[in-house]
Amino acid sequence: MKIRFNFPDLRLGQRRINGTVGPLLNDDLHIDFSTREPGGRIASFDLQQGAIRDLALNGNIALVSALDGGVQAFDVSDPASLDASNNPRPLATVPAGATEFWGVATDRHGRVYTTGLTSTFGILRTYRLADFLTARQVTRQIGAATLSWRPGINTNAPIGSETILGDRPEATPRRVQIVLQDVGDDVAYSPAALISAFSGATTDLGNGFQQINITVRGDRTIPYQIQTITVENRTLDLHWSIDVARSGSAAINGIIAQTGDKLYVIRNLRTYGVISLFGYGVSVFDLNAVESNDLNPAEPNYKTLQEQIALSNGSDPDVPSAPCDPARSAATGAPCPIRDLTFSPEALIRGGTSLKVFALDANRGVLDLNVAPPSVVAPASGGLTLATPFIDQPRLHTLRDLYRNASGRQPFAHFTSIASYKNYALIAANQFGLLVIRVDGGALDWESLVDVVWIPAGAYSVRAMPENDTAVVVDAAGRVLLVDLKKIDQSSQVAALPSCS
């Protein structure tokens, strides 16, 4: 593809010699360059068992939740080798057994979180990535929790008048997203400083490399029985993790470093997960509590911690929802509040001084929820209505007009996927493209939409790679698109939205 950039305020041949500006050519200054077309598909293959429901990437390990195919791990360091002609097989698998695995997520500490359905329950199961690297079949489960009842469970009650009551709804746990509260990101160690601070020892490997073994101690002040600690060599992009008892110590062996490398010791304090419960709404779990409660043997006098800290279908528990006619409300310039997350496809969770959940309403936009552990959850506002048949966010209304004038039909808005990038949420909005929402302020409003990356074939899913400032978007044609996120949010360069009176 050949591209020319024109700069109308600059002229070709403009130069200054001894203070005198030389003659100018008539043409604008322009820059010509060429880009290569995509190289095409590198490789493809089908799973030997199961159907793909979710994907997660940790380093060069891709984790696949595959319903009755369990959770499968693939080495993607050489993508070309993952071709059907090579009959690729997973490095390791969590056998499905009686569980249909739906969602999978993983974090910087090498922890793996999955959601699934059994014949009776929706469940959460946790594992360690290291176990996928040492055995073909992963059998060690770290923790588990009940998320929901399987949809239709009441129809299996022995008497038609019986109904199961509890704090777990009937729903399918589709997706899980996590947020970490860690310490240690602001302290860099040289290899020598790391050895000194953590009673370490070193072995020379030659060529300037050394292998370091250190001892780390748990944090007695945390409420959990175990703490995950990770050493990161950010110079070489390597990491090593260990679970340590809060009252004990553990060795982290085999740390590789050179003299000038920067190493960090990251301690996890809390980990929360938001689960999209399709058929009800969202729930928030203290994932460290799940693993702590399942530790066996437990510490003497250990008291079980609360695992589920929030459950919401979008309604405000303190304020009954008043009926709202969307057409009449739109006529006043205001959308009806989002108060139903029954069929929310995905939710995002952010940490900080408090927890906040951003749950998608597939047909309207996103609802922000304030979460205050151990059990308080409430909408922060009426949510952010982006595009509906009755009313659009003003900038999206302009996009709707442009789309309609160009194609002769209305664009279709469907909000199906959400991903976190720095202080933003990226939302796949079908024919409205990729929407960028600023989420580090107060309650969401129309000013929270700060950018639109329009994609001709529509945006159906999005995942962010923050370390590369890149988003991966899948469009309606099944193409995988890379979006550069370095210059998103140009809201400061446009006029503010006019206030309605």
DSSP 283-323: EEEEHHHHHHHT-SSPPTT--PPP-EEEEESS--TTSPPPP
Tell whether the model's pLDDT for residue 3 goes beyond 80.
no
Say what the pLDDT of residue 157 is.
61
Note whether 204 and 257 are within 8 A (CB): no
Neighbours of 305 (CB within 10 A): 16
Least confident span in 67-76, 98-107, 154-163, 341-350? 154-163
From residue 268, give the alpha-carbon distance in Å to each of 144, 180, 461. 19, 7, 29
**Residue 158 or 327, more confident:** 327
pLDDT above 90 as % of the chain: 79
How much is the average pLDDT of 69-92? 94
Note whether 311 and 276 are within 8 A (CB): no
From residue 119, give the alpha-carbon distance in Å to each of 116, 147, 151, 156, 310. 10, 13, 10, 11, 24
pLDDT digit string, tens, across residues 417-471: 999 999 999 999 999 999 999 999 889 999 999 999 999 999 999 999 878 899 9
Say what the pLDDT of residue 501 is.
45
Give the alpha-carbon dihedral of 256, 258, 264, 267, to 10 degrees.
20
Note whether 418 and 412 are within 8 A (CB): no
What are the sequence ranges of the domains in the chain? 2-34, 183-269, 313-493
Say what the pLDDT of residue 372 is.
87
Cα–Cα distance for residue pair 155/472, rounded to 1 Å: 41
What is the residue-averaged pLDDT of the chain? 91
Neighbours of 376 (CB within 10 A): 12
Cα–Cα distance for residue pair 467/449, rounded to 1 Å: 23
**Residue 358 or 27, more confident:** 358
pLDDT digit string, tens, across residues 170-183: 999 999 999 999 99
DSSP string, 208-248: TEEEEEEEEE--TTSSSSEEEEEEEETTTTEEEEEEEETTS
pLDDT digit string, tens, across residues 293-312: 999 999 999 999 999 999 99
Which amino acid is it at 310?
A: A
DSSP state of 120: S
**Among candidate residues 422, 448, 444, the one with its CA nearest the CA of residue 435:** 448
How much is the average pLDDT of 395-414? 94
Say what the pLDDT of residue 392 is.
95
Integer-rounded Cα Rg, in Å, for the chain is 26
What tokens appear for 315 in the block? 């309604």
Predicted TM-score (pTM) of this structure: 0.89
pLDDT digit string, tens, across residues 221-235: 999 999 999 999 999
How much is the average pLDDT of 265-294? 97
3-state DSSP helix/strand/coil % of the chain, to nearest 5: 10, 45, 45
Q: Is 269 exposed, middle or buried (0-12, 13-18, 19+ CB in 10 A)?
A: middle
Helices in 128-207 by DSSP H: which ranges? 129-132, 191-197
**Among candidate residues 122, 112, 124, 126, the one with its CA nearest the CA of residue 64:** 112
pLDDT digit string, tens, across residues 115-131: 999 999 999 999 999 99
How much is the average pLDDT of 72-82? 94
**Among candidate residues 490, 306, 471, the one with its CA nearest the CA of residue 395:** 490
Say what the pLDDT of residue 194 is.
97
pLDDT digit string, tens, across residues 185-207: 999 999 999 999 999 999 999 99
Say what the pLDDT of residue 495 is.
80
